[in-house]
A and B are shown apart, each in its own frame.
Chain A
């Protein structure tokens, strides 16, 4: 069958590829080219707010003039202005640390899920998935109530007597980490669980028979076997966390912003579309390696004949 489809592809088969391809080219690929183009433009008080504008009526001369007016000034600004550099640095640092925290929390949970009796696993799977599909915005909002100065967390801490005075949670980095770990935990747990679920348990038996203690067997046998899932989960979390906007905006403080907030501010508050575009292009460049890895992982698991 595949040989047949190779030699002669019918129109129907071509359409199956062509229709989604054209949609994605028009609404995902072309927009990125436009972002790149506008990142080379300058801010202007106009509608739309950037120059140069491309004018088809002026023909080749207009095209020449258009290209001569493009400049890399926005990128020069990104590199020279400490605000942008620290914003990128902070986003990457937060993404690294929170991905590590997610791994540390996600691995034991995924391991426990995989070790649970078979008939529970479907239910456990559903229980982990359910919060993920419960609106992202709502889950961040839920923490706003809990982390307030007179919120439930401080009420509980004061009641138990761990603290004498209510500590500040909201508008701190701690709140950002709590928000990120909370919202991304299912992304980390599920890929690791998927790998561990297929694990050959006789390996652990062999380790036990040879006198290896359980914690050591976990470290020497289970962890290496969970590695593909852990890598997939880490990529799945890391990429969107770097560009996160809602969590730092609602839970974080007014200090250094994450890069998603910087982009947002440039676009919505300063209306500097070229600067926002340059921020987006550099962010994309920083994420290109994890993005390629992600595509590779997905393609290997879900495709045939590629």
Chain B
């Protein structure tokens, strides 16, 4: 049978993609709506973007979110890469099953549970809640995603390169720095980008673990959205969509460069 698309296949793809993209497209178009009423079209305008620039609360929230996402992504990338090395290269070790459970569980754990658990921890050890507690929470949430991406890459490349270096007398650390790390670097970079996006996006866990003075962008958006649909929110959402789209295209190019097949990483990464 030829590889090719039947009429049914094309319809399934077209409807599926339309379903995925139409709502976002509508959101983007209506962010340029001159009318204050979000359901009535009043002509093209960029007034909501202009009024965003004067909205200090949103700008502050965005700055806090960006800083948290940057820090959380950096720490999560280091921890996630180490976890990937441990799971792929360390063979058997005591507590391995628990370890891999702890790595994968945050990927699917309902966020209300993770958020509540982390908050109760922070209260129990009496840390002041705010910027740092959200950063720790997001690091914990995102490191598993980095692990999964790096694992797929580690499984994909030729072990004999490392073995050759070792046989030629290179100590393990040197072998890692000169052979392994360059090979998995693109996957690590892709993991960083994805951890950054996830942190930027998270509302539930941030809302549990934050404190006074650390109102992240999703928390701000959520509190506005609960009161109803607003054109200004459409504008900030459009900006986020644009940034995320650029980031993902960059990350997927990196993954492609690294030769890791993104689809083998399991989760939609």
Contacts and interface: CB of A to CB of B under 8 A. Distances in A.
Given A116-B9, A142-B237, A205-B1, 20 more contacts: A5-B89, A6-B91, A12-B172, A17-B86, A23-B139, A27-B137, A29-B98, A38-B120, A111-B12, A116-B3, A118-B3, A126-B248, A135-B218, A141-B233, A142-B26, A145-B30, A189-B16, A194-B266, A295-B100, A298-B104
A196 to B, nearest CB: 10
A129 B248 contact: yes
Contact of B110 (A185, A187, A243): A243
Nearest to A273: B120
A158 to B, nearest CB: 12
A231 interface: no
A1 B17 CA distance: 47
A58 B203 CA distance: 40
Nearest to B116: A280
Query: Which secondary structure dominates chain B's binding surface?
Result: helix
Contact of A31 (B98, B120, B237, B244): B120
Interface stretch (A61-69, A81-89, A260-268): A260-268
Given A117-B3, A135-B218, A235-B108, A145 B121 contact: no
Given A135-B244, A244-B110, A260-B112, A191 B100 contact: no
Given A291-B108, A302-B155, A108 B116 contact: no
Nearest to B100: A299
Give the bracket for the number of chain B residues in contact with chain A.
35 or more
A28 interface: yes
B101 A1 contact: no
Interface string B86-114: 11111111011111111111111111111
A128 B12 CA distance: 13
B213 interface: no
Contacts of B5: 112, 115-116
A79 interface: no
Give the bracket for the number of chain A residues in contact with chain B.
35 or more
A24 B99 contact: yes
Given A185-B20, A304-B88, A132 B110 contact: no
Interface string A239-270: 11011111001100000000010011001000
Interface string B138-177: 0110010000100110010001001100100000110000
Contacts of A13: 90, 172
